[in-house]
Each structure stands twice: as C-alpha cells, then as structure tokens.
Structure 1
Amino acid sequence: MVNKKKHTKLKSLSQGRPPTVKPARSISSKATRNVIRTYHTLDKERAKALAAGDDAKAVALAKQMELQGGIESYQRASLIGQTNERGGDSSKVLMEWLEPIVPALKQLSTEGKSLRMLEVGALSVANACSKSRLFDMARIDLNSQAEGITQQDFMERPLPHDEREKFDIISLSLVLNYVPDPAGRGQMLLRTLEFLTARQYPGQLGDLLPSLFLVLPAPCVTNSRYLDEDRLEAILKGLGFVNSRKKLSNKLVYYMWQLQRPTAKRTLAFKKEEIRSGKSRNNFAIVLR
C-alpha cells in the first residue's frame, strides 16, 4: 500500500521495497548485472517518488519492478553474481582479517561460548563465516531465500534486552547502499550501536572486537559527489568507531570498524554536502542528523 501523505519518511528498509512476484526458474550469469543494475535504479526512483508524495509514479515504478521479477529476481541475480558483480563471498575477507584471533575463537567455541554475529541482508547459510563454525550466527533478510535466514527488516528488529542478546560482529555487506535515501543510511549505521555489545574482551580479541563489517560498491566511496574515505571515516568516528582493517578492489570496498566508545549522545551532524564535483560522479551519500 502506498502512503498518500506527502514527504513520506522511509522508516524501514521494507518501505523502500516493492511487492514481490515469483521469478523465472533460472537466470543466466550473463543477465545478472543488468537485473541488479535495473532493480537498484528503479528502486531508488521509487523511493524518490514516495518522498516527494508522487504516488502515481511510485505505483508505476513498483509495477515495473514486479514485471521484472521483483526482489526475488534481484536476489537470485545477486546469488549468481557473487562470483562477479558482488565480488564473491565477502565474508572470506572478514575471515582473513579475523585470522589472528581464530585460535581464541576456536577455544570459545569448544567451551560452548561462541561469539555472536548478525549478518544483515544474508543470502546464503554457506558463506565463509558460517562454514567456520566459530560463531553463533543470526542471519536476516527482507525476503529470506533459504532456511536458516530469518525474514526480517533490520530497522524493525526488536532491540536487545540485555548484553546476552547483543552481537560481537555485525555484517552489513552490500546492504547500506541498498537503503534508498541518505538519511536512512545514517539511521542504519546509528542503529548498529544498539546491537553491538559493550563487553570487554581478553587478549587479542580486544584488538578487533566488537566490530562492524561494512562492504560497499567501490564507486560509493571513490566516485561520489558527497562521500569519500575521509567523510566516511568522520561519520563512523562520530558514532564511536575506529577503522581497524580496509581493502579496496576494483568493484568493492571492505572495512572493519571497531566500536571503541558507544556514543549514546551524539553532537556531530553530517549533511549532504558536495565534496567532489564532476558530471561523472554518483550521488551516494550518508546523512546523520
């Protein structure tokens, strides 16, 4: 149902997603890039229409997305594209970064005290983190594609009651870029503070945890008018994170942000301000109010 109020605020990820329909039985890897690109473009245009109160345009765009297979078709393309468009299983990079503390993680697992990881936007239960069996995994996605993935919107996930329900690692791998508006991206980053534990870790565990694993398409940082690495770091630092690991590829940027001082009361705000000019730039931005 389309909200008919003007200046609609997207409070959750699900508000930015259209209804879904059953996808075709198969999709070739050759077609995945076009499916992913088209879906992102239409979804962003739909979010803009909703925000502007243009209900007719929003409905037309949602219908167009349905005709192309909806979110289920997009997710199937993403699964196929993990070898190309999505740069493979990004959690392999995370596991490489965690290598120094694997012995400690194994010991905790043996003692039945495995650390907890929340994977937002999970597409598979067989990625590197899951296969390691070192974590108590919680996987969520707006449209679950497999048993073991809970169908849930992170922005509507109930807040933890205590430290036992919080997480040592949160993975936002190619999730933040899917949020259709800059303020919504800021809200998602801010919300991770509610779910990351404030516990103290012994030994080397304390050098990396608790952490946010963040993966974005490289152009979001390298070719945006409104965001570069300095700006991204300033935003994360404003939330209490410090960058502990970073990797840049042609298609993706990977970050591990360690939460060092949870900020219950923030004083910093980040507006949508031009950092780089040029017609070839994209408009990806993160806003914190």
Structure 2
Amino acid sequence: MTKVPKKRASGSVLLSRHRLKPPTQSGSAAAKPGSTASLSSKAGRTLIRAHHTLQKRLAQALSKNDHEAAAKIRVEIEASGGLEKYQAASINGQSSQRGGDSSKILMQWFDEDKALHGIKKGSLKLLEVGSLSPDNLISKSPPFTLTRIDLNSQHPSIETQDFMERPLPRSEEDKFDIISLSLVLNYVPDPVIRGEMLRRTTQFLRAPKEGETETHFPSMFLVLPAPCVTNSRYLTEGRLKEIMESLGYVLVKRKLSPKLIYGLWRLDDAEAAKKKTRWKKEEVNSGQQRNNFAVTMK
C-alpha cells in the first residue's frame, strides 16, 4: 500500500489505500475459506466494480474536503475487504484458467511482427505497474528483464511502490524499453492524476534512437476497460489518441474486445510531453447512459 498521500491536488494516485497487514501467503492468492480464490468470475467482477465505486465516492468526498464522509467511505472499503480483497479478485480474474492475462495480447503482437527476433536475452527492460503476479506470460519471455511494482505487493518479486512516487531515472541507462499499464489508469479516481500518470510514463522510457527502425520500442502497453472509451461522455478512442499523441506517442497496435481495449503506444517524440498540452474535461460523446470516465491535463 502507498503512504497516506500529501494534501495536494496531484498527490498519491490512490486516495484511500492505507497500509494493510502484509499477506501471509507466499503465492499470489493462496486459497482459504471465504477468500476470493473460490469466487466465480461474475462474483469477482461484482466485487471489483463495487470497490471502484467506493473509490470514486471517496475521491469526490475528498475533493469537497468532506472528511466525515471520506472517513465513512473508508470504513466501507475496509469492511468489504479493502485493497487486498480487490487485488485477490483481480488476480483470480487474471488467472490463466480464466484467460485473463493481458500480457498474452502483447506477446501475440510481438510474435506476429517478429518484434523480438534476434534480441538478446534480458536486453529489454520492462516496468510493470500494478503487477499482480510474477507468473504472467511476458515474465517467461527471455528478452525481457522485468521490474514489477504495485501499491500492495502480493509477492516478494513485486516491489511495493506507487508509480507516481517512484524516483525518476537518473540516466538513459535507468530507463525502460516498455512500460505496462494494464488496468491501472482506470483505478485512479481523479481525471487530472490520470493525465499526470500518462505524462509521467514518458520520463521512464528511453529516448528513441537516431535512425532506429524498431517499430515497437520504446513503448507503453495500455489496457483499459472498454467502456472507458466506448461509452464515456468525456473520452473516446479518438480523444485518447489525441491525448497520447500530444505526449509524443503513436498507436502501433490496437485490439478491442467486449470487455477491454488494448493499445501499444510507441514513444516517437520524447520532448513532446514537456510542452504540457492542456486537456479539459469536455463532453465528446453525449448520451444519458454514458459513464463519466475522463482524462485531463493541466
């Protein structure tokens, strides 16, 4: 879990993640009576949606400085199992038995384009933000050396860290070839901090090399629930593309499923993000049944 955030508009990504007791199991989700390991897919999705709803309510209460309401919502979050139960449900949903490992899509793209052909073992550095398990498919791919971080690590191979508080790289050698943000951005409760997170990724990716013909690196693998762009008042695929391009990214791979949208975004212009293009919260897709997911930048 992260530390209690500082009182500033652009503080820690998650506003309610107080430190919990570390899990006692050594694996990613050891089964025990009443644990999420025995949850059905539907029950797991219900738990995850409920947790997201509570997080949004908490963010709204804090934005209004309603500390009494925020305290009550935190009690609700802890009563429902808190972050640990949410993570366990997420791990359960991403198990190979349920086909939920999003890195499979990334590896399929690499295989289709022979993007990893001839690359030496361990020569590609990947930062996996919001890592739930060290056993996903990409972790078994020889070219990659993984750095895994999460707010509440469920495994000794995953460092407990908030990406928004991770120290910036001191040199190009400390940067990464690829960053994975799989179902992370949608957890952030504030549109401004979502924008800050996307902008911050550019500081962790190595700069494109002069004359480089590589089509897949440096890049970010971004995965979101499909409704974030297919049924939002404030964000469409087109608007997301505009935001990403203002940061210097170019979309090179895309897949839309009924539940998720996957994108591989190559960083072509490492200096673009420094211009700090502003993106307001404005309606781009009207309709009464739309959700309010948004990404803004100041």
CA displacement, residues 19-62 of structure 1 (integer Å, 9 cap, x when unaligned): 53689932232221221111110011101111110000111000
**Aligned residue for 1:141?**
150
Q: Does the 8 A contact of 2:61 with 2:70 survive in 1?
A: yes
For 1:10 and 1:21, locate their aligned partners in 2 and report how far apart those are by CA, in whole Å.
27
How far residue 4 of structure 1 moved from its aligned partner, in angstroms, is: 11
| Structure 2 portions without partners, runs of 5+ | 24-30
For 1:19 and 1:120, locate their aligned partners in 2 and report how far apart those are by CA, in whole Å.
18
The answer to whether 1:17 aligns with 2:26 is no
For 1:195 and 1:273, locate their aligned partners in 2 and report how far apart those are by CA, in whole Å.
29
Q: Which has the higher helix share?
A: 1
| Structure 1 portions without partners, runs of 5+ | none
For 2:48 and 2:178, locate their aligned partners in 1 and report how far apart those are by CA, in whole Å.
27
Q: Does the 8 A contact of 2:5 with 2:15 survive in 1?
A: no
For 1:209 and 1:218, locate their aligned partners in 2 and report how far apart those are by CA, in whole Å.
24
For 1:153 and 1:11, locate their aligned partners in 2 and report how far apart those are by CA, in whole Å.
11
**Paired residues for 1:254-273 under 5 Å:** 254-262=262-270, 263-266=272-275, 268-273=277-282
The answer to whether 1:236 aligns with 2:244 is yes
**Aligned residue for 2:110?**
98
For 1:220 and 1:150, locate their aligned partners in 2 and report how far apart those are by CA, in whole Å.
28
**Aligned residue for 2:87?**
75
Q: Does the 8 A contact of 2:226 with 2:261 survive in 1?
A: yes
In structure 1, what residue type is equivalent to 2:292? N
For 1:71 and 1:201, locate their aligned partners in 2 and report how far apart those are by CA, in whole Å.
43
**Aligned residue for 1:29?**
39
For 1:70 and 1:248, locate their aligned partners in 2 and report how far apart those are by CA, in whole Å.
30
For 1:117 and 1:4, locate their aligned partners in 2 and report how far apart those are by CA, in whole Å.
29
Please give the secondary structure, in 1, of the residue aligned with 2:118.
helix
Match of 1:48 among 60, 79, 91: 60
For 1:156 and 1:280, locate their aligned partners in 2 and report how far apart those are by CA, in whole Å.
36
Pick closer, same or farther for the CA change 1:246–1:144 going to 2, 3 Å. Answer: same
Pick closer, same or farther for the CA change 1:42–1:20 going to 2, 3 Å. Answer: farther
Please give the secondary structure, in 1, of the residue aligned with 2:152.
coil
In structure 1, what residue type is equivalent to 2:51? Y
Q: Does the 8 A contact of 1:22 with 1:69 survive in 2?
A: no
**Aligned residue for 2:128?**
119
**Paired residues for 1:213-224 under 5 Å:** 213-224=221-232
Please give the secondary structure, in 2, of the residue aligned with 1:194.
coil
TM-score calculated relative to the size of structure 2: 0.88
In structure 1, what residue type is equivalent to 2:116? V
RMSD: 2.3
**Aligned residue for 1:65?**
77
How far residue 3 of structure 1 moved from its aligned partner, in angstroms, is: 8.0
For 1:159 and 1:22, locate their aligned partners in 2 and report how far apart those are by CA, in whole Å.
27
